Amino acid sequence: MEEYKITTHNENETIAIAQNLESEKFPNMVICLNGDLGSGKTVFTKGFAHALGIDEITSPTFTIIKEYLNGELPLYHMDVYRIEDKTEDIGIEEYFDKGGVTIIEWADMIEDILPEERLDIKFKITGENTRVLVLIPHGDKYTSICEAII
């Protein structure tokens, strides 16, 4: 499986990657973010949302799913960190076909229900402000996007 690595040196560079990805968006796009606390997942999501025309992004830690319907495409922002085998109850899969973009933080917690075609991004902390983002596309559409933005 192809991997694309990008090193960022500050939050603005992480945001720039998110904005580049946003410019390649399409309905039912799924982006899965994994990485330690403070590695840049929410920064990435805010950058993506801002590029979509959505400004008020807050971490959905306690609500699990937040819907933002006021951008170019709907954005479904999920933080599944607090889920414990309750995935069936909240209907996460329904969002994958709603015509918007789904961004899932801590996506490895629900790996069994993720769509086959998606973009995984691993955030690795390599210094105080330095991060390595590893993009792993699943499906041709996502591979094309990675090649377009790198």
CATH of the domain at 12: 3.40.50.300
Q: Which pTM does this prediction carry? A: 0.94
Percent of the chain, pLDDT > 70? 93
Residue for token digits 């990675």? Answer: 146
8 Å CB contact between 131 and 8: yes
Residue for token digits 């559409």? Answer: 141
Domain count, the chain: 1
- Domain of residue 87 covers 4-149
pLDDT at 122 over 90: yes
Q: 139 burial class (0-12, 13-18, 19+ CB within 10 angstroms)?
A: middle
pLDDT at 141 over 90: yes
Percent of the chain, pLDDT > 90? 79
Average pLDDT, the chain: 92
Terminal C-alpha separation, the chain? 17
pLDDT at 124 over 70: yes
What is the pLDDT averaged over residues 113-129? 96
| Listed residue (64, 122, 57, 49) closest to 95, CA to CA | 64
pLDDT at 85 over 80: no
Least confident of 34-48, 89-103, 135-149: 89-103
Helix (H) or strand (E) holding 123: strand 118-125
